[in-house]
Chain A
Amino acid sequence: MSEIAAAGVRPAWRSRLGSGAEVARGTPDVRRRLQLGLAAIWLLDGVLQYQSFMFSKGFSQMLAGTASGNPGAVASPITWNATLIEHHLVLLNSIFATIQLLLGIGIAWRPTVRLALAASVAWALGVWWFGEGLGMVLTSSASPVNGAPGAVIIYALLAVLLWPADRAGKPAPFTAARTVGAPAARALWLVLWLSLAYFALLPGNRAPQALNGMIAGMESGEPGWLAALDRGAASLVAHQGLAASIVLAIALVIIAAGVYLPTSAAKATLVLAIVVAAVIWVFGEAFGAIMAGGATDVNSGPLLALLALTYWPVRAAVTPPAHTAPALAHTAAADADEGTTVLWSPPGSWTSSPRSCSWSRR
């Protein structure tokens, strides 16, 4: 039963106890749901940052390790940052964890969504440099299988694409286009996935045992079943580095081009993107190594899947005509901008559909 419908007949004590109508609900639209997905990942990252490993010297050593192979101008600040963290480990890591926790909460809390998304871009860029060594893209060891171009840069990309604003003009064909426009969104997608294809074909990644070593290296500290899964996957690609890299690169190129294809083909490539992201996350990243107890984030798999969902074709949203109930139109537009459906709408007015996120006249 609808909470709203029920509220009118529910005894006062029930809502008093908060059992049934704890809050009256507004159904988020597609973009808001994706924002909530991003918020959940930030929140999980914040919680992961509180793990005991992060309060040990292993954390600062891990950060310092990302300087390796990077140019001096990039590596020096990383080393300086790692040293600073080592000296103030508990304080700084507590701050880092809390910031990420607040980013998740801020994105989920509607009044602060813009502030949190903007802050998340700044934070992600900082972590990308100081925490991930620019995703190792300037080294020869970047691989889509181990998280290149850096999971955290995808957070920033998602924050931009999910910014709660709409461009005037033609309706957006997919959620990611609502803020930056379809051409720019497609270009960003193309650059990301083509760069992944490029990384897959780097000499270090197409060596016969490269992929095998990468997957087998994830076993350490994992539960038995996951270690066995990794071992099985590693044995499948043993001595098949070149073939595996080529297959992966072809898949990534197809995915990159997918957003320029007609809707049905685009959907197929987006499904392929989600499948590839899942395979990378399970076998290449061992679920972000979360169950090994030393993960700072979920790694790139879930973020690539979330990104693919932002490009999923949607029926375009249409702004209600201004001459129809101006006050309501204003309210509706404001709500739509915040990514919500309109709860109040008298018969004959424009209302949003929770299923399609499109506008229809009742």
Chain B
Amino acid sequence: MVPAWILDIFAAIMLVVAAVSAARLVAARPWQREVRRAALADIDVAHLLMAIAMAGMLAASLQTLPNGAWSVIFAVMTAWFGYRVVRDAQVSGVRALAGGHCAPHLIHAGAMLYMFMAFTAPAAHGSGGMGGMGGMAGGMSGMGSLQLPLLAFLFALALIGYSIWDLDQLSGPGASGHYSLAAVRAVPTDPVLVGVGASAGPGAAALSPAPSVTMTAGPVAEPAAVAEVPPASGPADGTGVLAPWVATGCRIAMGITMAFMLVIMI
């Protein structure tokens, strides 16, 4: 049996992720401006909900909603990110499926839905599956299992893959300077494309008809020919809790925790 204190540590990490995601939502105030802005808050909303649900799954005392409610929430979330991935794929091609920023969230949401749908409580705890307090949590510490273990394994592999990729990208010089987490500055320049596709992967940069930009960061050489780089201007430009790396860090923490949960319930 997995010791309860290990589950509690992971639950605490999820609570931190939930708090950070809530802080990001509050700081971004997506409800104040145009409609599009609210639509793009989906990432932090997803992080917030998933973190709360996972904390409840890991520690019975943190359970909030009935499992049926969570199943509905994650079914909707999966459908939403599925729609967004399809839309990305229509714009960016099949690379969006592998590298688009919505694809990891689709996998996260799908894994959550799978965990709630496929969980089988152990006989000793078997009182209607995961229903009620201590359902999933009781199952985890009492080692319930998941139906279709191959699916659990595949989800775990995908989650680990995305987490590793995120870690690499977060620590790369293209992300935020040489190993610092300072905000990257984007500078509009002439139409020469010098970057590489991010979500769409290598070679996708040429898809953009928009003016290109040069990414500069920290100690990377900045010859005089480059346009002057305006300083990052505080939280409004994505620093502090709104810094891009914060969202990615939350995603990494959730990906690893989710993989842990899937594997220990195989």
Contacts and interface: CB of A to CB of B under 8 A. Distances in A.
A binds B: yes
Interface of A: 1-9, 11-28, 32, 36, 39-40, 43-44, 47-48, 50-52, 55-56, 90, 94, 101, 104-105, 108-111, 223, 225-226, 287, 290-291, 293, 325, 327-328, 330-331, 334-335, 338, 340-341, 343-347, 351, 354-355
Contacts of A2: 193, 195-198, 200, 204-208, 212
Contacts of A24: 174-176, 184, 186, 195, 198, 215, 217
A36 to B, nearest CB: 5
Contact of B213 (A7, A18, A335, A355): A7
B124 to A, nearest CB: 14
A50 B3 CA distance: 9
Interface stretch (B71-79, B130-138, B165-173): B165-173
B162 to A, nearest CB: 10
B247 interface: yes
A345 B193 CA distance: 10
Contact of A9 (B2, B165, B211): B211
Contacts of B244: 15, 18, 21-23
B238 A12 contact: yes
A345 B221 CA distance: 9
Interface of B: 1-3, 6, 24, 28, 30, 33, 37, 40-44, 91-92, 101, 143, 149-150, 153, 156-157, 160-161, 163-176, 178-179, 184, 186-188, 192-208, 210-217, 220-223, 225-226, 235-238, 242, 244-248, 251, 256, 259-260, 263-264, 266
A293 B146 CA distance: 11
Given A6-B208, A13-B33, A23-B169, 11 more contacts: A17-B247, A19-B40, A19-B42, A22-B251, A24-B175, A25-B175, A25-B198, A47-B264, A108-B167, A226-B150, A345-B194
Contact of B202 (A52, A109, A355): A355
Contacts of A3: 195, 197-200
B193 A340 contact: no
A344 B194 contact: yes
A320 B215 CA distance: 21
Given A24-B215, A48-B263, A1 B196 contact: no
Most A-side CB within 10 Å, residue of B165, B222, B236, B245 = B165
Contact of A223 (B149, B196, B263): B149
A110 B266 contact: no
B174 A340 contact: yes
24 contacts: A2-B193, A2-B206, A5-B193, A9-B211, A12-B237, A18-B43, A18-B247, A22-B244, A22-B251, A23-B175, A44-B259, A50-B260, A55-B1, A55-B2, A109-B167, A110-B172, A290-B266, A328-B221, A331-B220, A331-B221, A340-B173, A344-B215, A354-B196, A355-B202
A52 B264 contact: yes
Contacts of B176: 23-24
A18 B194 contact: no
Nearest to B219: A331
A104 B165 CA distance: 11
Contacts of A290: 153, 263, 266
Given A24-B175, A343-B173, A47 B1 contact: no
A66 to B, nearest CB: 23
5 closest residue pairs by CB, A with B: A26-B174, A3-B198, A4-B195, A18-B247, A354-B202
Contacts of A44: 156-157, 160, 259, 263
Contacts of A291: 149-150, 153, 266
A101 B40 CA distance: 32
Nearest to B29: A13
Given A15-B237, A21-B198, A27-B202, A110 B179 contact: yes
Given A2-B197, A17-B24, A23 B164 contact: no
Contact of A346 (B179, B207, B223, B237): B223
B38 to A, nearest CB: 10
A203 B14 CA distance: 53
A18 B246 CA distance: 8
B237 A16 contact: yes
Contact of A4 (B1, B215, B246): B215
Contacts of B167: 39, 105, 108-109
Contacts of B179: 110-111
A20 B246 CA distance: 13
Nearest to A32: B168
Contacts of A325: 223
A164 to B, nearest CB: 13
Contacts of A335: 173
